[in-house]
Amino acid sequence: MDWDWSSIGSVLATILFLRTAYCDFLPPEFHSFISFLFRGIVVRLINDAKILIDEYDVATCSANELYSAANAYLGARCLDDAAVVRLNKRRESPLPAASLPGCHTTHDSFRGIPLRWSSVVVGQDSSSYPFRSSSSAAEHRSLELTFHRRHSHVVRSAYIPHVLEEAERIASASRERHLFTNRAEIFGDDHRSLWSPVPFSHPSTFDTLAIDPALRDDIRQDLLRFVARRDYYARVGRAWKRGYLLYGPPGTGKTSLIAAIANLLEFDVYDLELTAVHSNTILRRLLASTTSKSVVVIEDADCLLDLTGRNKKKNKQDEEDPKSKEEEEEHTPASSGFRSSTVSLSGVLNFVDGLWSSCVGERLMIFTTNHPERLDEALLRAGRMDRKIHLSYCGPAAFHILARNYLEAGQEHPRMLEAEELLAEAEMTPADIAEVFMRCDAEGEGTDAAMDGVVEEMRRRKEQAAATASRGKLKG
């Protein structure tokens, strides 16, 4: 067909006429409908499939998690080369996150499948959202994912879950974690003010912990299994929580293990000072205001409450009738200080496994003590304390880890064998050994001097222990 200037002019005039008729004579609802039809025809012609991800679920008026996840995913994965990005910084995250601005497009690929993401913003008059009520003045945002129709199954069954997983990973990596301590004075009903947060960044990890490697791996597996079993806990009807009791002499790494656990799981830590809690009601409120993905820690549990044998009988009554005891405690005037807290055994038991301990997602509760025998059995029973972990004096395997971490000394070091043999009788904690290594380092001494120093210290302690034992025999 030959085109001359007059035929081009007639085509343009026809287009202008149709456009004017479309804009001026058709009501806005038809604009949306025609645009929808037109886009459908184009999509069919070019064999594309589309997934529309709205910012809000129109039916339930709730935020669409997939929309936020896709935005986080795009921000982290696809927007490095984009000409325009939107940057957003949330209070809880240290860095701003990039997202796709309205009406822009970016590209991704998955298992060799090319994918196109476009952001769509529809206002009151816009024509790109079908059947939209013209009375709504709000902006409607969505993301469109376009791909070849033959990849529909892979995109829905694998790519979308991949986007969700990646977004979850990105969110937890960028989340700043906190250490919360409960405030001694509590005012009003603002639950957030019950805890004072500071950023949490403890260097202890499962790799730096000097404990038996078999125990370390066992704890790590137990934790990873726990966090992966949300569905299991829901199925068997249990709150998604796990209780640990860490016990052993001072300086064996109980606090270090808690920090390593929080770092492994990327959890916040709530360090609960029970002596500052004046009633069971406040204890309950404290727990109710913790967030999911957290470790709630009660250190030195044997020193805090009347949980010792002296009060076992009384405590048994409490457990049998926790309600009456709790009511009685709540009417006691608030007082402060060690052992004068009105938090009762029943309050703590309910704290560990009561109804309100299931009010948020996954959570660990860790009690530590140097004297597990002083704790009431009710607190220790299975279901409350799922794992009882004994951290003891330094053994050979833990010593190797400390020597590697502090001195970069391997098992082939000439004094290693001697140190291993002495360890059995010297009763040194990892903290004692770390102390000797750090002292040598501070004095500028090398690895050999540090190993000599620790062997000497072990020998001294062994002799001391032998002398104490023989004095005991003589007295006997």
* Site membership for ligand ATP, residue 209 (CB under 6 A): yes
252 binds ligand ATP (CB under 6 A): yes
* Cβ distance to ligand ATP smaller for residue 160 or 260: 260
Q: Minimum distance between the CB of residue 458 and ligand ATP, rounded to whole angstroms?
A: 16
Sheet holding 387-390, edge to edge: 195-199, 178-182, 268-271, 294-298, 363-369, 241-247, 387-390
* 210 contributes a contact to ligand ATP by CB under 6 A: yes
Query: Distance between CA atoms of 249 and 286, rounded to whole angstroms?
Result: 29
Listed ranges 56-64, 250-258, 263-271, 358-366: which one lies at the site for ligand ATP (CB under 6 A): 250-258
Decide: 293 and 171 in contact? Cβ < 8 Å. no
Which residue's CB is nearer to ligand ATP, number 252 or number 447?
A: 252
- Site residue total, ligand ATP (CB under 6 A): 14
Does the protein bind ligand ATP through residue 251 (CB under 6 A)?
yes
In terms of Cβ atoms closer than 10 Å to its own Cβ (0-12, 13-18, 19+), residue 419 is buried
Among 174, 181, 281, 370, binds ligand ATP (CB under 6 A): 370
Measure the CA–CA gap between 457 and 427, rounded to whole angstroms. Answer: 11
Range in contact with ligand ATP (rule: CB under 6 A) among 142-150, 244-252, 285-293, 354-362: 244-252
CB contact at 8 A, 244 and 390: no
Q: Which of 78, 122, 160, 434 binds ligand ATP (CB under 6 A)?
A: 434
Ordered alpha helix ranges (H), 361-411: 377-380, 396-402
301 belongs to the binding site for ligand ATP (CB under 6 A): no
Would you count residue 269 as binding ligand ATP (CB under 6 A)? no
- Which residues lie across from 199 on neighbouring strands? 178
The phi, psi pair for 268, rounded to 5°, reads: -75, 160
Match 């082939």 to its residue by tokens.
412
CA 219 vs CA 249, 258, 382: distances in Å: 19, 11, 17
Residue 117: Cβ within 10 Å count: 24
In angstroms, what CA-CA distances link 304 with 179, 247, 312, 373, 471? 21, 15, 15, 14, 35
Does 254 bind ligand ATP (CB under 6 A)? Our answer is yes
> Measured from the CB of residue 386, what is the shortest distance to ligand ATP in angstroms?
20
Which residues in the 378-407 window bind ligand ATP by CB under 6 A? Answer: none
Least distance (Å) between residue 362 CB and ligand ATP: 24
Distance CA 341, CA 325 (A): 14
Smallest distance, ligand ATP to C-beta of residue 271, A: 12
Does 250 help bind ligand ATP (rule: CB under 6 A)? Answer: yes
By C-beta, is 239 or 391 nearer to ligand ATP? 391
Our CB check for ligand ATP shows the closer of 438 and 467 to be 438
Calculate the CA 423 to chain-centre distance: 37
For ligand ATP, which is the closer residue by CB, 256 or 342? Answer: 256
CB of 208 to ligand ATP, least distance (A): 6
| Beta bridge partner(s), residue 246 | 368, 389
Q: Which residue is nearest to ligand ATP (CB)?
A: 253
Stretch that binds ligand ATP, among 206-214, 267-275, 309-317, 444-452 (CB under 6 A): 206-214
Task: Select the residue interacting with ligand ATP from 69, 73, 85, 253 (CB under 6 A).
Answer: 253
Which residue in the set 99, 119, 146, 256 belongs to the binding site for ligand ATP (CB under 6 A)?
256
Q: Are 84 and 119 spatial neighbours (Cβ–Cβ below 8 Å)?
A: no
Structure tokens at 83: 């000409």
> Quick one: 64 exposed, middle or buried, by C-beta within 10 A (0-12, 13-18, 19+)?
middle
**What tokens were used for 237?**
């009807």
Contact window for ligand ATP (CB under 6 A) among 246-254, 314-322, 330-338, 406-414: 246-254
| Stretch of residues binding ligand ATP (CB under 6 A), selected from 8-16, 92-100, 186-194, 254-262 | 254-262
* Interacting residues with ligand ATP (CB under 6 A): 209-211, 250-256, 370, 430-431, 434
